[in-house]
Amino acid sequence: MATLFDKIKRDVRKGIEEGIAVVKEGASVVSGKMGELTAEGKRQYKMFDLKAKIQGQMTVLGGRAYDVLDGRKNPAADGKVKAVYAKIKKLEEQLRKLEGGKQTKTAAPGKPARKAAPKKAINPAVKKTAKKAAPKAAAKK
Protein backbone atom coordinates (compact mmCIF):
# COMPACT_ATOMS: atom_id res chain seq x y z
CA MET A 1 0.00 0.00 0.00
CA ALA A 2 1.15 3.41 -0.85
CA THR A 3 1.72 5.76 1.95
CA LEU A 4 0.49 9.33 2.06
CA PHE A 5 4.03 10.53 1.40
CA ASP A 6 4.28 8.38 -1.77
CA LYS A 7 0.95 9.69 -3.01
CA ILE A 8 2.01 13.33 -2.47
CA LYS A 9 5.36 12.65 -4.10
CA ARG A 10 3.64 11.10 -7.14
CA ASP A 11 1.16 14.02 -7.42
CA VAL A 12 3.96 16.59 -7.18
CA ARG A 13 5.99 14.77 -9.86
CA LYS A 14 2.88 14.61 -12.09
CA GLY A 15 2.25 18.35 -11.53
CA ILE A 16 5.86 19.20 -12.40
CA GLU A 17 5.74 17.12 -15.59
CA GLU A 18 2.45 18.76 -16.66
CA GLY A 19 3.87 22.19 -15.87
CA ILE A 20 6.96 21.52 -17.97
CA ALA A 21 4.76 20.34 -20.86
CA VAL A 22 2.69 23.55 -20.67
CA VAL A 23 5.84 25.70 -20.56
CA LYS A 24 7.27 23.87 -23.60
CA GLU A 25 4.01 24.35 -25.51
CA GLY A 26 3.92 28.03 -24.55
CA ALA A 27 7.52 28.47 -25.62
CA SER A 28 6.78 27.02 -29.06
CA VAL A 29 3.79 29.37 -29.45
CA VAL A 30 5.90 32.35 -28.37
CA SER A 31 8.64 31.31 -30.76
CA GLY A 32 6.17 31.19 -33.65
CA LYS A 33 4.74 34.60 -32.74
CA MET A 34 8.24 36.05 -32.48
CA GLY A 35 8.96 34.83 -35.99
CA GLU A 36 5.79 36.50 -37.28
CA LEU A 37 6.55 39.75 -35.47
CA THR A 38 10.12 39.74 -36.71
CA ALA A 39 8.98 39.28 -40.31
CA GLU A 40 6.44 42.11 -39.93
CA GLY A 41 9.08 44.34 -38.37
CA LYS A 42 11.43 43.71 -41.28
CA ARG A 43 8.65 44.49 -43.75
CA GLN A 44 7.79 47.72 -41.95
CA TYR A 45 11.48 48.74 -41.94
CA LYS A 46 11.81 48.05 -45.67
CA MET A 47 8.70 50.14 -46.34
CA PHE A 48 10.11 53.00 -44.26
CA ASP A 49 13.45 52.75 -46.07
CA LEU A 50 11.76 52.84 -49.48
CA LYS A 51 9.68 55.86 -48.47
CA ALA A 52 12.84 57.66 -47.34
CA LYS A 53 14.55 56.84 -50.65
CA ILE A 54 11.53 58.09 -52.60
CA GLN A 55 11.57 61.33 -50.62
CA GLY A 56 15.28 61.75 -51.31
CA GLN A 57 14.81 61.15 -55.03
CA MET A 58 11.94 63.65 -55.11
CA THR A 59 14.25 66.21 -53.57
CA VAL A 60 16.85 65.48 -56.26
CA LEU A 61 14.13 65.72 -58.92
CA GLY A 62 12.94 69.06 -57.59
CA GLY A 63 16.47 70.45 -57.54
CA ARG A 64 17.19 69.25 -61.04
CA ALA A 65 13.89 70.62 -62.35
CA TYR A 66 14.70 73.97 -60.76
CA ASP A 67 18.12 74.06 -62.42
CA VAL A 68 16.63 73.20 -65.80
CA LEU A 69 13.84 75.76 -65.45
CA ASP A 70 16.37 78.37 -64.33
CA GLY A 71 18.11 77.82 -67.67
CA ARG A 72 14.75 78.40 -69.36
CA LYS A 73 14.56 74.86 -70.70
CA ASN A 74 11.81 72.23 -70.61
CA PRO A 75 12.36 69.82 -67.66
CA ALA A 76 10.47 67.05 -69.49
CA ALA A 77 13.16 67.06 -72.18
CA ASP A 78 16.05 66.76 -69.71
CA GLY A 79 17.63 63.30 -69.50
CA LYS A 80 18.59 63.55 -65.83
CA VAL A 81 15.04 64.54 -64.87
CA LYS A 82 13.69 61.53 -66.73
CA ALA A 83 16.24 59.23 -65.05
CA VAL A 84 15.32 60.43 -61.55
CA TYR A 85 11.62 60.10 -62.41
CA ALA A 86 12.23 56.50 -63.52
CA LYS A 87 14.02 55.74 -60.23
CA ILE A 88 11.10 57.13 -58.26
CA LYS A 89 8.60 55.02 -60.22
CA LYS A 90 10.71 51.90 -59.62
CA LEU A 91 10.88 52.59 -55.88
CA GLU A 92 7.12 53.23 -55.76
CA GLU A 93 6.48 49.88 -57.44
CA GLN A 94 8.67 48.11 -54.86
CA LEU A 95 6.77 49.88 -52.11
CA ARG A 96 3.41 48.83 -53.60
CA LYS A 97 4.55 45.21 -53.63
CA LEU A 98 5.57 45.39 -49.98
CA GLU A 99 2.29 47.01 -49.02
CA GLY A 100 0.45 44.12 -50.59
CA GLY A 101 -0.37 45.57 -53.96
CA LYS A 102 -2.44 48.44 -52.62
CA GLN A 103 -2.93 51.09 -55.25
CA THR A 104 -1.80 54.45 -53.98
CA LYS A 105 -2.84 57.55 -55.80
CA THR A 106 -0.56 60.53 -55.65
CA ALA A 107 -3.21 63.13 -56.41
CA ALA A 108 -2.86 66.62 -55.08
CA PRO A 109 -4.57 66.98 -51.74
CA GLY A 110 -7.91 68.74 -51.93
CA LYS A 111 -9.34 71.30 -49.64
CA PRO A 112 -10.24 69.94 -46.22
CA ALA A 113 -13.91 69.24 -45.77
CA ARG A 114 -15.79 71.97 -43.98
CA LYS A 115 -18.07 71.12 -41.14
CA ALA A 116 -21.62 72.05 -41.87
CA ALA A 117 -22.90 74.69 -39.52
CA PRO A 118 -26.12 73.76 -37.79
CA LYS A 119 -29.09 75.41 -39.42
CA LYS A 120 -30.89 77.92 -37.30
CA ALA A 121 -34.59 77.51 -36.88
CA ILE A 122 -36.51 80.31 -38.49
CA ASN A 123 -39.61 81.49 -36.75
CA PRO A 124 -42.10 82.50 -39.46
CA ALA A 125 -44.02 84.73 -37.04
CA VAL A 126 -41.04 87.07 -36.66
CA LYS A 127 -40.12 89.09 -39.72
CA LYS A 128 -36.82 90.80 -40.02
CA THR A 129 -36.84 94.07 -41.78
CA ALA A 130 -33.77 95.23 -43.57
CA LYS A 131 -32.87 98.86 -43.44
CA LYS A 132 -32.15 100.39 -46.77
CA ALA A 133 -28.81 102.07 -46.99
CA ALA A 134 -28.75 105.60 -48.29
CA PRO A 135 -27.28 105.83 -51.76
CA LYS A 136 -23.65 106.79 -51.62
CA ALA A 137 -22.49 109.80 -53.50
CA ALA A 138 -20.23 109.12 -56.40
CA ALA A 139 -16.60 109.55 -55.52
CA LYS A 140 -14.97 112.54 -57.05
CA LYS A 141 -11.89 112.02 -59.05
- In order, the DSSP letters of the chain are ---HHHHHHHHHHHHHHHHHHHHHHHHHHHHHHHHHHHHHHHHHHHHHHHHHHHHHHHHHHHHHHHHHHHTT--GGG-HHHHHHHHHHHHHHHHHHHHTTS-----PPP-PPPPPPPPPPP--TTSPP-PPPPPPPPPPP-
Asked if pLDDT for residue 56 goes beyond 90, the answer is yes
pLDDT at 103: 47
Q: How confident is the model at residue 102 (pLDDT cuts 50, 70, 90)?
A: very low
**pLDDT tens digits, 2-51:** 687 788 888 888 889 998 988 888 888 888 888 888 888 999 999 999 99
> So where are the chain's domains?
11-98
Stretch among 2-11, 37-46, 84-93, 130-139 having the lowest mean pLDDT: 130-139
Residue-level pLDDT at 107: 47
pLDDT for residue 7: 83
Greater model confidence, 135 or 55: 55
Instruction: Please compute the mean of the pLDDT values over residues 68-84 and round it to a whole number.
Output: 89
